[in-house]
Structure 1
């Protein structure tokens, strides 16, 4: 490819026709003529050129959004830096990068330009949408997002990317404290708990050959933060300025945290979420404990409860603190939700239920102490003890069986021969009950008193993970339901876990909700032999 003619950066920027008072960021060598020209002409924000893409994203988040980001660094990761810059532009803003002279970085950047142009010209652009897009690789989604929302052109030694999409930049959990240090007007970090890696406790066995458990879990640092001027939308979305806060995501340690209520535009951006109405101002401090699946028992016991480890710290800082959750349907919280919050130390009189957008004056957020399939932080032990004691001690008097089988209504993951399974457990001395037919205090009292807790896989079994005293737990479910919570909670509590994996009706090559929720059949001759061995081995 022939060497393009030299075009000065000043000519490029002048050709962009930036508005008066445009917000411009520039990264270039100290003392370079180009950098000084841009600073003089636009009063540009100067960035450290040696920052990694992740660090550059924090710098831009602290001072953005921008009308133009000019990145003239000699870095080799030009494609990634381009994506970072685009995440911090206003609609109609421009990212300007110096095209590397030689090497793989130049080839990668120019190849991307050609791919985007070719896709845009083909008329087959399919930009990302809400929800899961199974079978579609991230690289394909990102390419289509670029083609749909960005015009790329090479002008001499520079690539100019003009973005039409209105995007917001998610800030990774591990970077938020750094952002608050750089932009203290956004808020502050009040308290942290160190990251911990812990070893799984209790014994494990499964009827499915090759089915093993994780032997260790790495929990991240937990941080309690005080943030200002946060827009909260239904379905667990929290936005501050042009950045999306980690509190918007259920699993904050994923490389690309996702929410089905946000359209992921790239690794570094999402489409700006739309508010159905103007936000209602929230005066005073609020503790954010919303969940995208709020009202679902399993997600409340695992994810939502785990946000409350910092409640007492926040309450000491703000005695007038309230708790904030959302209810898009407008329905009030169920009694069991209020009981769970009260057991965690939150008086129900302090609970604010928002049905639409709110703008929080002061919002307290705590890093989730639990993420499904990823980690449980040991800091939750004290919270779990508090919840179990508070609830179980309030339970009405009554018999407490030593062997308990928790059945379910089978609206999803139905066992075709559930009655056969229940009778098998009854024959071995188990009392069969449906947990949702009991109050939350009684559910906790029942599982706390039992030596052996068994049941069909699902949220009805999750309370056993809150217990401190090890027990034996037997879970019956399909071979397409991974039982991540059951494994994780039992490993944390130290329970002996036995998984009875049955053949599901629906199997798919890749993950699908159909296979995840598939009905199944318990086979007495296959997994039944494993279960018989487990039951016969129980001590009297």
Structure 2
């Protein structure tokens, strides 16, 4: 699209009694006449999808269009959607939007990426680490409160629509990143267990992340260690090392959530998702989508609590043995 307007970004809370959505975001691409480009919007806001709804106007005001006209960016650029600050959502939402870079005729043409911030202004080093294998040292613009006009902007269709559809293009991007990002001397364990124990221990006592943790997570780690798994604490490793560990694994296991979304970078193999208080008996939708497009065999081990409310390790061991032995 020529002379594409990238609107300002905004986010905030929704104060009402309904459980979802709880927050809202704003940020999309518009034509030079101010009409929204539907493919640029992030769908969502219901169920467990972060409870964040998109609230873009269908037509930009003259004031915002004028402000965008005062900030013109020359050359061709690629729109990457929302610059998600959540690790798992960045893997399944932001990263797959870079699929045009896998086409030789487009990869060399763009000057860089432009995206809208999501609900946070914070930038993480791991975000750059994931996209650099595809774009090299080209620029990354994360738009916040100042709209801009891009001389030429490529707006790709989104490979992943939460709970609706996922395209093989997502798997193509993950494969390319996995092939390029992992260090040469990466170890290649056949079985990897992605533990949340140390991450949860580092959280404040009232942090929401603790609600999903197991009271006996150390015992769960020990069980997987005894079953031949390399127990990994992802937050202590670089992104490159995390991808390198799972890429060639035969089995990757872990509690449902962001860390287990690293299974997107596996070349082949099986995935074991442990249930928790949030997803006791059902696969997390995003994990199911990753497994579908990667043709992975995936098993969900339901959360069964013992008399203390902790994970029943004996029951877990029996189910685990039936899968891997």
TM-score range, shorter chain: 0.7 to 0.9
Structure 2 unaligned residues grouped into runs of 5+: 10-24, 201-208
1:306 shift after superposition: 1.4
Of 71, 80, 92, which residue of structure 2 is paired with 1:289?
Answer: 80
Match of 1:502 in 2: 303
Mark the CA change 1:315 to 1:299 in structure 2 (over 3 Å): closer, same or farther: farther
User: CA deviation digits over 1:327-359, x for unaligned, max 9?
Assistant: 47654x42211121122x212332223332222
- Quote the Cα distance in structure 1 between the aligned partners of 2:310 and 2:149: 49
Structure with greater Cα Rg: 1
Q: Is the 8 A contact 1:238 1:248 kept in 2?
A: yes
Match of 1:124 in 2: none
Specify the SS of the correspondent of 2:189. Answer: coil
Q: Does 1:380 align with 2:179?
A: no
Q: Does 1:404 align with 2:187?
A: no
- Quote the Cα distance in structure 2 between the aligned partners of 1:304 and 1:443: 18
- Quote the Cα distance in structure 1 between the aligned partners of 2:34 and 2:245: 48
Q: Does 1:307 align with 2:97?
A: yes
**Which deviates more, 233-242 or 417-426?**
233-242
Q: Does 1:534 align with 2:320?
A: yes
Q: Does 1:262 align with 2:55?
A: yes
1:160-175 matches, cutoff 5 A? none
Mark the CA change 1:270 to 1:460 in structure 2 (over 3 Å): closer, same or farther: farther
1:499 shift after superposition: 0.6
1:383 shift after superposition: 2.1
Mark the CA change 1:500 to 1:353 in structure 2 (over 3 Å): closer, same or farther: same
Match of 2:113 in 1: 323
Supply the RMSD in Å over aligned alpha carbons.
3.3
- Quote the Cα distance in structure 2 between the aligned partners of 1:337 and 1:501: 32
Q: Does 1:359 align with 2:148?
A: yes
Match of 2:36 in 1: 244
Match of 1:438 in 2: 237
Mark the CA change 1:314 to 1:278 in structure 2 (over 3 Å): closer, same or farther: farther
Mark the CA change 1:261 to 1:533 in structure 2 (over 3 Å): closer, same or farther: closer
- Quote the Cα distance in structure 2 between the aligned partners of 1:374 and 1:463: 21
| Larger RCO (alpha carbons 8 Å, 6+ apart) | 2
- Quote the Cα distance in structure 2 between the aligned partners of 1:355 and 1:371: 23
Specify the SS of the correspondent of 2:286. Answer: helix
1:538 shift after superposition: 1.7
- Quote the Cα distance in structure 2 between the aligned partners of 1:380 and 1:316: 17
Q: Is the 8 A contact 2:100 2:107 kept in 1?
A: no
- Quote the Cα distance in structure 1 between the aligned partners of 2:59 and 2:274: 39
Q: Does 1:346 align with 2:135?
A: yes
1:497 shift after superposition: 1.1
Corresponding residue pairs, total: 281
User: CA deviation digits over 1:285-323, x for unaligned, max 9?
Assistant: 3211131x6222111110111111123559639835321
Of 471, 475, 478, which residue of structure 1 is paired with 2:276?
Answer: 478
Q: Is the 8 A contact 2:28 2:41 kept in 1?
A: no
Mark the CA change 1:358 to 1:457 in structure 2 (over 3 Å): closer, same or farther: same
Mark the CA change 1:310 to 1:421 in structure 2 (over 3 Å): closer, same or farther: same
Match of 1:449 in 2: 248
- Quote the Cα distance in structure 2 between the aligned partners of 1:487 and 1:431: 23
Specify the SS of the correspondent of 2:158. Answer: coil
Specify the SS of the correspondent of 1:366. Answer: coil
**TM-score of the aligned structures, taking structure 2 as reference length:** 0.74
Of 474, 483, 488, which residue of structure 1 is paired with 2:289?
Answer: 488
Q: Is the 8 A contact 1:236 1:248 kept in 2?
A: no
- Quote the Cα distance in structure 2 between the aligned partners of 1:342 and 1:538: 36
Mark the CA change 1:399 to 1:308 in structure 2 (over 3 Å): closer, same or farther: closer
1:251 shift after superposition: 3.5
Match of 2:214 in 1: 415
- Quote the Cα distance in structure 2 between the aligned partners of 1:316 and 1:478: 43
Q: Is the 8 A contact 1:287 1:322 kept in 2?
A: yes
Match of 1:149 in 2: none
